[in-house]
Amino acid sequence: MKKISLVVFPALTIVLEALPMGAVCTFAISPTERVRETFSYFSLIPFGYANFAPLITAILTVVANKTIMVVPKPLIGQTASEFLWKREKHLPMRRS
């Protein structure tokens, strides 16, 4: 179950950010009338209107998901104690 969630949830974040209802821009047609339009996080239209956060969030999400999904095989399942144990094997033994 844990391995499935490690693949499903990152993929789900990319799908939800790609939907056209993430970034909201409010445009003023007249002094009293406002129009709200929604865009995808990956759209450059909010970026062009100085709303930088959605595009930066989308790029960082893709980078984070890429680093999560591409993990060297020796590091999977390796605990800190195993790492320290392997390191101690190479130390010279002390003589009393």
pLDDT for position 39: 94
Residue in 91, 22, 23, 86 with CA at minimum distance from that of residue 51: 23
State whether the Cα torsion 59-65-20-37 is positive or negative: negative
Tens digits of per-residue pLDDT, 40-91?
999 999 999 999 999 999 999 998 888 777 666 565 555 555 555 555 555 5
Given a cut of 60, whether residue 4 has pLDDT beyond it is yes
Strand-pair category, 34-39 with 23-28? antiparallel
Integer Cα distance of 82 and 69 in angstroms: 22
Tokens 């391995």 belong to: 3
**Residue 88 C-beta-side C-alpha neighbours within 13 Å:** 7
